[in-house]
A and B are shown apart, each in its own frame.
Chain A
Amino acid sequence: MKTLSVQFKVNGEEVQAEMPTHITLLQALRELGYTEVKNGCEKGDCGSCTVLLDGLPVNSCLVLAVQATGREVTTVRGIGSLDNLHPLQKNFIEHGAIQCGFCTPGMLLSAKALLDENPSPTRKEIREQISGNLCRCTGYVKIVDAIMETTSEGSKAGKRRPRARKC
């Protein structure tokens, strides 16, 4: 099997590994232990595998690991942690936007990408942004509510405290 050395940053940490050339970023991340990146279809249909690549959301199952060389990957662990939740994570929890939670990591990253770009989107814009992230449990209502809540709160919070982490 042909292998290549891949090198990129995940949540700020350098990662280097020898990987088969055809391996996708999703497979690579999961094999490297970033199992918070979920595999729901491996063909770009569900959005469970969404990560941020240099800040932009991608379906990691549609990106080859080698394509990430030299770039920054952000998974859901990179935007907040148990004792330092990102406002989106906090609002997802409080609004009941998480049922089984399988779609959650991808959903949060799509939402974050939107808010980074546009801090005050409309509900419609939110729905458009997450339309590639399937959720079978919630019916999306509480997810949109949670993101909506973060828009107004997020700008206030942004002034109050510096961003938790550079990602």
Chain B
Amino acid sequence: MPFDKTTATLLGKSIPQPDSLEKAVGETLFSDDIRLPGMLWGLALRSPFANARIRRLDVSKAKALPGVRAVLTARDIPGVNRRGNMPGNRDDQPVLVEDRTRAVGDPIALVAADSSETAKEAISAITVDYEQLAPVEDPLVSLEPDAPLVDEEGNVIGDLGYTRGDTEKGFSMASAIVEETYRTQFAEHAYLEPEAGVAWTDPGDVLHIRCGTQWVENFRHIARILGVSHNHVRIESPLVGGGFGGKIFMTIEPLLALLAKATGRPVRMALTREESILSSTKRHPYILRYKMGADADGRLTALLADLVGDVGAYSDASPVIAWYSIGFLGGHYRCKNVQVHSRFVLTNNPSGTAMRGVGSAQITFALEGTMDSLAEKLGMDPFEFRKRNHLSKGESLSTGQPLKNAVFFSETWEAADKALDRALLRNSEEIPKLSPKVLRARGHASNMTGYGRRHGHLSQAQVSVQFDGSAVVSVGVADIGSGQRLGCQQVAAEVLGLPMDKVTLSTSDSQLNPIAGMTAGSRTFLNAAGPVQRAAEPIAKALKEAAASLLEARIDDIILADGKAFVKGSPSVNVPHAQLVPAAAAAGTSLTQLGTLKIEEDLYPGEETAHNAGWLDYTFGGMAVEVAVDPQTGQVMLLGLGISHDVGTAVNPQIVVGQCEGGVVQGMGLALTEDCCVKRGKAEAHDFSTYLIPTSLDIPSIEVAILESGEGEGPFGARGIGEPPHNITPAAIASAVSRAIGVRVTSLPITPEMVLTALRTGEWPH
């Protein structure tokens, strides 16, 4: 029975998150908020060097200190000394360094002690004799044939690409050609909650790890490291204090696991902010060369994209992210002659990983910049130029993948532009105060973001109804604050016709909950709430059957809402769920159902090369922003920003708007201030006074315009919205700044120094 939107009671309602009440009063126990009896303190000794051989490692003094319960090195790892992280990578990252460090922050030894002071003392008592080697800092150097090997298997971990048509011919037909190289920076996820957690072993010899993560399925990697079977490791993620991609793959979990196993006692670890930034993964810097040509009518004739991604020291998630990027490099524009090439290269820099807008934020910035330049060269309005080239529903991406659902290109562009007008109006008090010397301009961008990787395994969820009509949802997905649990709850309540408070949640426990994959890639509403919907539907059907017989009506006329069943149009004659559930049980219906979602491989014929690059569906959007650039200081001020995305169906508008606002502000950081400043493999920006994320004083007036085509693959036709608002922002801001200063911005972040140099020289500095 397809879901009837017209009788929905919770769909489209801005219901607050179920956990916000506890969060508001300080009751939520985050990763570092529990203490267990006999708990030890864990600490890691980390490499200060990006590339060094360890000649000698002596832990004897540390071991001899009173109060020290364990000192572990690579030799003490009972299983396999590899983090694993992402299936399909090189499996090149040790948990503890064996004889060579490849990155600053690589853990070399672990200590568990009675107190944090003793643990610190033990760490300082460890002596390491390093032979420092020159780090490979530049991916372009790393690509050279005689470059020192970062990894024995070679420095290039992904060399992918595809060709459609004939780009040479395409360029020969062009009346305007633009070729530009764009660069982006190492960016830090900067979740407010640093990595922390506790691990302990229960009497059944199951190791528990309570540590905020975006992926409870990491228990498999832990089991391999410990040399135990999968059922002996259980990951329970508390509510996570922010993730943004940085907590998908294991952070401190393997360290906690080793220490808890070795000591037989509960162990707690909590990273300082500095250790967090020093040791955590980052957004990959990209070097992107785009060459695009168009004919005199403004139709694209050729597109050439060449990407070099800085993987950092370990392959981690890079092989997959390389594929994501391949999917976006060809853009969302119509072009017959396309050549796309991408190489992901190891260096001794911090490891790159997923970060909000994975593999697409950097590309959107470069692609949209090149589109703007080409429009300018053609003397065309950027919107008009894009309109001629933007793909529509039913057409195919250059990878060959058909776009099955709505493509709201003009709609989102125009809505964003109007939203910007409203934003400026709201800011109308501030604008007249600007000096007449400032350079003001409006910029735009359009974007496409994938959601629902097609190669995910099964995602499952369980829904049970109780005799009193209430329900429990169980799903192994982590909540990182953007409404993952709420989405599952709201969908279950809608389908079962229950008020929100009659649906409770059990989530993010790798042994108790059916597994639903990682909280990442704008996938969770589709991949977690989707299975919840599938689990709830047969129960709803059984309840309707019970109601139909009690009310002597046709099942199709039965409505479930607010904990009652009634015949459409006459809600006063009703039967409560408390009566329906026992009746359904008596009729032999299982009150517990498992819902399964599998995204089919769905190969598009003849396009195997690019096949891995595709997502189930895409979210399209537009952004408009107005900036004021101070020509004296180079400072960029955002006067207003309008954003619009087609979210398919806005199941919870407040969540959608929250994702837009939060994503925009993060994107602003990426555009203007955030840079890890990696030198000799080390993030020089090591805290929040050097790594600058936006504060409340930096934000512009933001207006969000939600569009709903109704065509999405998530429950009730929703599309993913976690990442799209973020990855379009740097592109739109760069577009506005480029216009204001008359120089194309080709690198991030757009610092005042860069702006001043560009104003002085007429070129964007690299």
Measured CB to CB, the nearest residue on chain A to B272 is A42
Main secondary structure of the interface of A (DSSP, over half): loop
**CB of A155 closer than 8 Å to a CB of B:** no
Which of B26, B661, B662, B696 is within 8 Å of A105, CB to CB? B26
CB nearest neighbor in A for B668: A139
Contact with B along A128-167 (1 / 0, CB 8 A): 1011111111111111100000000000000000000000
Would B192 and A103 count as touching, CB distance under 8 A? yes
In angstroms, Cα B482 to Cα A35, docked, is 22
Q: Does A94 contact B (CB under 8 A)?
A: yes
A25 within 8 A of B: no
Is B765 at the interface (CB under 8 A from chain A)?
no
Cross-chain contact B192 with A40 (CB below 8 angstroms): yes
Asked if residues A137 and B26 are in contact (CB atoms below 8 Å), the reply is no
- Cα separation A95 to B661 with both chains bound (whole Å): 13
Contact with A along B7-21 (1 / 0, CB 8 A): 000000010110111
| A41-B687, A138-B662 as given contacts; A82 in contact with B699, CB under 8 Å | no
How many Å lie between the Cα of A167 and that of B30 in the bound state? 25
Q: Judging by beta carbons under 8 Å apart, are B666 and A98 in contact?
A: no
Near B by CB (< 8 A), chain A positions 83-113 give 85, 89-90, 92-96, 98-105, 108
Contact of B24 among A48, A75, A104, A134 (CB under 8 A): A104
Query: Which of B22, B658, B689 counts the most A-chain CB atoms under 10 A from its CB?
Result: B658
Q: Which residue of B lies closest to A81 (CB)?
A: B25
Whether the Cβ atoms of B696 and A96 lie closer than 8 Å is no
Encoded as 1 (CB less than 8 Å from any A CB) or 0, chain B from 111 to 149 comes to 000000100000000000000000000000000000000
- The chain A residue with its CB closest to the CB of B690 is A45
Candidates A39, A104, A131; contact of B23 at CB < 8 Å: A104
- A131 touching B239 by the CB < 8 A rule? no
Contact call A139/B25, Cβ cutoff below 8 A: no
Residues A98 and B482 in contact in the complex (CB < 8 Å), given A46-B688, A89-B25, A141-B702: no
Interface centre among A40, A104, A139 (most CB of B within 10 A): A139
> Residues of A contacting B194 with CB < 8 Å?
39-40
Contact of A76 with B481 in the complex, beta carbons under 8 Å = no
B693 near A: Cβ within 8 Å?
A: yes
Known: A40-B192, A140-B699, A141-B702. Contact between A101 and B693, CB under 8 A? no
Q: Which residues of A contact B661 (CB under 8 A)?
A: 138-142
Question: Quick one: which of B16, B20, B240, B699 has the most chain A CB within 10 A?
Answer: B20
Tell me the chain B residues, 447-502 only, with Cβ under 8 Å from chain A.
480-483
A48, closest chain B residue (CB): B192
- A102, closest chain B residue (CB): B241
Q: Are B26 and A138 in contact (CB under 8 A)?
A: no
Please tell me if the beta carbons of B695 and A40 are within 8 angstroms of each other in the complex. Answer: no
B676 within 8 A of A: no
Q: Are B663 and A139 in contact (CB-based, < 8 A)?
A: yes
Question: Across the interface, do B27 and A102 meet the contact criterion of CB distance under 8 Å?
Answer: no
- B1 in contact (CB, < 8 A): no
A127 interface residue (CB < 8 Å to B): yes
**Across the interface, do A99 and B482 meet the contact criterion of CB distance under 8 Å?**
yes
Q: What bracket does the count of chain A residues touching chain B fall in?
A: 35 or more
Interface size class of B (residues with CB under 8 A): 35 or more
User: Which residues of chain B come closer than 8 Å to A39, judged between CB atoms?
Assistant: 32, 194, 270
B699–A100 contact, CB under 8 A?
A: no
Taking CB as reference atom, which chain B residue is nearest A83? Answer: B25
Say yes or no: is B28 at the interface (Cβ < 8 Å to chain A). Answer: yes
Q: How far is the CB of B481 from chain A (nearest CB, A)?
A: 3
Interface membership of A119, Cβ < 8 A: no
Q: Are A139 and B702 in contact (CB under 8 A)?
A: yes
Chain B residues in 8 Å Cβ range of A38? 30, 192-193, 241
> How far is B687's CA from A42's CA once the two chains are assembled, in angstroms?
10
Bound Cα distance A38, B196 (Å): 12
Is there an interface contact between B657 and A45, defined as CB atoms closer than 8 Å?
Answer: no
Main secondary structure on B side of the interface with A: loop
Q: Give the complex CA separation of A38 and B655 in angstroms.
A: 24
Query: Is the CB–CB distance between B24 and A89 below 8 Å?
Result: yes
A139 touches B23 (CB 8 A): no
- Report A-chain residues with C-beta under 8 Å of the C-beta of B663: 139
Complex partner residue of B665 from A75, A77, A98, A140, CB under 8 angstroms = A140
* Interface presence of A55 (CB below 8 A): no
A131 touches B697 (CB 8 A): yes
Given the known interface contacts A85-B24, A102-B193, the answer about A134 and B697 at a Cβ–Cβ threshold of 8 Å is no
A82 touches B662 (CB 8 A): no
Query: A80 at interface (Cβ–Cβ under 8 A)?
Result: yes
Chain B proximity mask over A22-51: 1 for CB below 8 Å, otherwise 0: 000000000000011111111101101000
How near does chain B come to A120, taking the closest CB pair, in angstroms?
17
Most interface-central of B17, B33, B241, B687 (chain A CB within 10 A):
B241
Contacting pair B19 A101 (CB below 8 A): yes
Residue from B26, B654, B689, B695 whose CB has the most chain A CB atoms within 10 Å = B26
Q: Which of A35, A82, A99, A130 contacts B658 (CB 8 A)?
A: A99
Contact A139 B693 (CB under 8 A): no
Known contacts A41-B687, A140-B665; is-contact A101 B695 (Cβ 8 Å): no
The answer to whether B273 and A101 have CB atoms under 8 Å apart is no
B27 touching A100, Cβ below 8 Å? no
A43 to nearest B CB, angstroms?
6
Chain B residues contacting A133 (CB-CB under 8 Å) are 696
B22: chain A residues at CB < 8 Å are 82
| Contact, CB under 8 Å: B687 / A102 | no
Contact A92 B20 (CB under 8 A): yes
Selected from B28, B244, B270, B662, the residue in CB contact (under 8 A) with A101 is B28
Task: Tell me the smallest distance from the CB of A15 to a CB of chain B, in Å.
Answer: 16
Determine if A100 and B20 form an interchain contact, defined as CB atoms under 8 angstroms apart.
no
Does B664 reach chain A (CB closer than 8 Å)?
yes
Which residues of A lie under 8 Å from residue B689 when comparing CB positions?
43, 45
Whether the Cβ atoms of A92 and B658 lie closer than 8 Å is no
From A40, A77, A99, A126, name the one whose CB has the most chain B CB atoms within 10 angstroms.
A99
Known: A45-B689, A93-B16. A130 touches B193 (CB 8 A): no
The reply to whether A98 and B695 contact each other, CB–CB distance below 8 Å, is no
Q: Which of B25, B658, B688 contacts A80 (CB 8 A)?
A: B25
Interface bits B192-221 vs A (CB < 8 Å: 1, else 0) = 111000000000000000000000000000
> Which residue in chain A gives the minimum CB-CB distance to B703?
A141
Known: A35-B29, A46-B192. A41 touches B666 (CB 8 A): no
Q: Give CA–CA (A95, B270) in the complex, Å.
A: 31
Answer yes or no: B190 CB below 8 A from chain A CBs. yes
**Cβ-defined contact, B21 with A82, below 8 A:** yes
Choose among A85, A102, A139 the residue that contacts B664 (Cβ–Cβ < 8 A): A139
Provide the bound-state CA to CA distance between A165 and B648, in Å.
Answer: 46
A131 contacts B695, C-beta separation under 8 Å: yes
> Within the assembled complex, what's the spacing in Å between the Cα atoms of A36 and B28?
8
The 0/1 profile, CB within 8 Å of A marked 1, for residues 662-706 of chain B is: 111110000000000000000000011100011111010010000
A76 to B480, CA, bound (A): 21
> A60 → chain B, closest Cβ, in Å?
13
Q: How far is the CB of B262 from chain A (nearest CB, A)?
A: 25
B688 in contact with A35 (CB, 8 Å):
no
Residues of A within 8 A of B239 (CB): 100-101
User: Is there an interface contact between A96 and B24, defined as CB atoms closer than 8 Å?
Assistant: no
> Contact at B14–A96, with CB atoms within 8 Å?
yes
Could you tell me the distance between the alpha carbons of A115 and B594 in the complex, rounded to whole angstroms? 49
Q: Inside 8 A of B26's CB, which chain A residues have their CB?
A: 36-37, 75-77, 105
Shortest CB distance B141–A (Å): 33
Across-interface contacts of A132 in B (CB, < 8 A): 695
- A1 lies within 8 A of B117 (CB): yes
**B657 contacts which chain A residues (CB < 8 A)?**
96, 142
B595 within 8 A of A: no
* Closest beta carbon of chain A to B644's beta carbon, Å: 16
Once A82-B22, A92-B20 are accepted as A-B contacts, the answer to whether A99 and B662 lie under 8 Å apart by CB is yes
Please, could you name 15 A-B residue pairs with CB atoms under 8 Å apart, sorted by A?
A35-B29, A76-B24, A76-B25, A80-B24, A82-B25, A93-B21, A96-B657, A99-B17, A100-B192, A100-B481, A101-B24, A105-B26, A132-B695, A137-B481, A140-B695
By Cβ-Cβ distance, the 4 closest A-B pairs, closest first, are A36-B26, A100-B481, A101-B23, A102-B241
Q: A99-B483, A104-B24, A136-B192 are in contact. List 6 more A-B contacts (CB 8 A).
A: A93-B16, A99-B17, A99-B662, A101-B239, A137-B662, A144-B696
